[in-house]
Structure 1
Amino acid sequence: VGSTIAYFQEIRTKDSYFYWRIKLDDEDRVENLFWIDGASRRAYAKYNDCLSFDTTYMTNMYNMSCAPFIGINNHGQSIQFGCGFIRNELKENFVWLFNTFLHAMGGVAPKNIITDQDFAMRSVIDEVFLNIIHRNCRRHIMKKAQE
């Protein structure tokens, strides 16, 4: 954690729009982590119409889910608008992560969001991102239908 914070502080000296936040638990362990560089913040200002958010993959050696915020630019290419790690996919962690994302983006919420079918995530989206259109990921729907 110390190395990560030092690295983020070093990046911040080179990129004044680099943004990061960390939330520790009662035992000073990382509960949540979020970061975004300046280029991604500028891209989000232009291409915030659709956001894909999926935490169902890439659990790291610390057993934290990777939580990338992905969008699409005007060339149809995927862009990462920020990334986080959350220890547990609990409502309070999604509240923290989505509010941190909104703060980094100057309070501008995406117009649409595509997610998996996580119930904790769904309730938080309705609470944090007001007036947003929420859709479930087709891949998750098809997987559930086959099961």
Structure 2
Amino acid sequence: MKRLILALMLALLPLTPAFAVQPDEVLDDPVLEERARELSKGLRCLVCRNENIDDSNATLARDLRLLVRERLVAGDSDDEVIDYVVDRYGEYVLLQPRATGANWLLWAAGPIMLVLGFGIGVAYLRRREAMPEPADTVALSDEEKARLDDILDK
């Protein structure tokens, strides 16, 4: 029975959310805490890479969570907090990078390459269709046909 309960608990463990926010980080004001949580969901943990700082247990993620809460308590708006963190750590800290400036090239590269590849494929097929048949094809003689049949029958 104990093994069944243990197996059930282990099976359900991945379904539980990972709460990395420590109790000493939580703000007293529930409105500010909710804003901090929403902002944290959009910020990348620089240690864990594709995990937001709200779910990460890394020390740097804790520092970023505290920084976000500190800026909110100081009276910054959500945009000001994000700008402050981006100025300090770079745009890589955003899980959803902004589509501005040099990032437009990165955002547009995929669709541009798709259209370019499709165009190259269409041009290749059209050029291949337009090519004339080779004129120097010669039919096999009776002797060559017999030799080929003999080879294929073996």
Q: Which has the higher contact order (CA 8 A, sep 6+)?
A: 1
More strand by share: 1
Q: Indicate the structure with greater helix content.
A: 2
Q: Same fold (TM over 0.5)?
A: no
**Bigger CA radius of gyration:** 2
